[in-house]
Amino acid sequence: MLNKLRALAEEKKLDVVLISAPDNLEYFTGVPTLGDALGILVYDRRGDSFHLYVPLLEYHRYRDSLPGDVEVYAVSKSLKPVGVPTVDLDWKDIVKKYAEATVGVDASHHGPLQRGVLQALGGKAIDVSNDVWRLRMIKDDEEIRSIAEAVRITMRGIIAVESSVRDDVTETELVGVFEKTVRDSGVDRLAFDPIIAFKPNNAYPHAVPTTRRVSRRDLILVDVGVKVRGRCSDITRMILKGRPSSEERKRLEAVVEALEAAIDAVAPGVKASEVFDVAARVLDKYGLRERFIHGLGHGIGVVVHEPPYLRVDSDVVLEPGMVFTIEPGVYFPGEYGIRVEEDVLVTKKARRVLSAKLKRVLESF
């Protein structure tokens, strides 16, 4: 991915590009970032050189992971271990070294370090955030293979959850089943904290699993994902415990119909907002539009929520290489929620559902 940063600087005629947002650092370096870890990646086109500044405690992890043409420096004012190139400067002073150059920055991120970068450059920086997002939205072949593998492992985990549903099981126990299954499959990072929720907990779109026990007739919402080689999956399935009521069955069918209609609408040149509208119209037909209280989907990549977003107000036009979720859902506070989610790749002519091999509604009687 470093070559993409080099090409961006050339295309925009920038002397220097500074990358400081944690997920962009992970994207360009391929090294996992932990939380809001500090770091500044510098590409200087004038000397065709890469420099990475990180806290001392992160120095060896990055140095051991990156190619030799990336010069890694530890930012430390007090400790200066032998053999570790250290920089005795504040972060803003590191940035000021480039203030006289034509500098591009990823200004769409708003953490303290990113604000400090902009201040240190005196407001003269060129915002290349949209250019970086465009790079991240269009996945290359290796990224697509990583996402597809993450999807396969996630589906394996969901099947294990479905097989573990029993009368006295809790939400958190099923979370444990998923985590063990995917860890045993070689996954070292989850894409996000798993959501496994019974009625009525699944009426919250972002439910937090509890020690609640499954009921005799329940709707189990399973929303899970993993990371493989730094790329995410995100799949949601409904598991039926016992026979659902006729109303629940009809609403499940309506959500699946909205999902299928939206998938069929995906193709290069189609606006993301148009795909949203397709799903919304199906739910409206069943009197459920007001229960659909979130966007239809989001890009998946380095992080599990990134552009493009499939929302009513989106002006994004779909292009080959984009990978995103499609996840219509309806929610009835105090009762239950229903959501089904697929991971979809835009191809040259249409689309491919990466998660298609797993049934959308599973049954455990």
Same domain, 167 and 313: yes
Same domain, 124 and 189: no
Structural domain containing residue 328 = 141-364
Single residue among 83, 113, 137 that ends a domain in this structure: 137
Same domain, 165 and 283: yes
Label each residue of 3-44 as H, E or C.
HHHHHHHHHHCCCEEEECCHHHHHHHHCCCCCCCCCCEEEEE
Residue 60, judged by CB atoms within 10 A of its CB (0-12, 13-18, 19+), counts as: middle
Determine phi and psi for 195, rounding to 5 degrees. -110, 115
Same domain, 335 and 192: yes
Give the CATH number for residue 320: 3.90.230.10
pTM beyond 0.75? yes
Same domain, 168 and 126: no
Region at 76 (left for phi over 0; alpha for psi -120 to 50; beta for the rest):
beta
Same domain, 7 and 19: yes
Q: Hey, how many other C-beta atoms are within 10 angstroms of the C-beta on 208?
A: 11
Q: Residue 276: what pLDDT?
A: 98
HSE-CB for 129 with a 13 A CA cutoff: 14
DSSP three-state, residue 336: strand
Parallel, antiparallel, or unpaired for β 336-339 and 189-190?
A: unpaired
Same domain, 345 and 225: yes
Q: Could you write out the DSSP letters of every residue in 270-289?
A: -BHHHHHHHHHHHHHHTT-G
Residue 307 is classified by DSSP as E
Same domain, 131 and 111: yes
Give the CATH number for residue 102: 3.40.350.10
Question: Consecutive sets of 10 residues in the chain, 365 residues long: mean pLDDT of each?
Answer: 96 96 95 87 97 96 94 94 94 93 90 85 91 97 98 98 96 98 97 98 98 96 98 98 96 98 98 98 98 98 98 97 98 98 98 97 86
Same domain, 282 and 334: yes
Same domain, 189 and 267: yes
Note whether 156 and 133 are within 8 A (CB). no
Single residue among 137, 161, 192 that ends a domain in this structure: 137
Note whether 144 and 193 are within 8 A (CB). no
Domain total of the chain:
2
Residue 2, judged by CB atoms within 10 A of its CB (0-12, 13-18, 19+), counts as: middle
Single-letter code of the amino acid located at 260: E
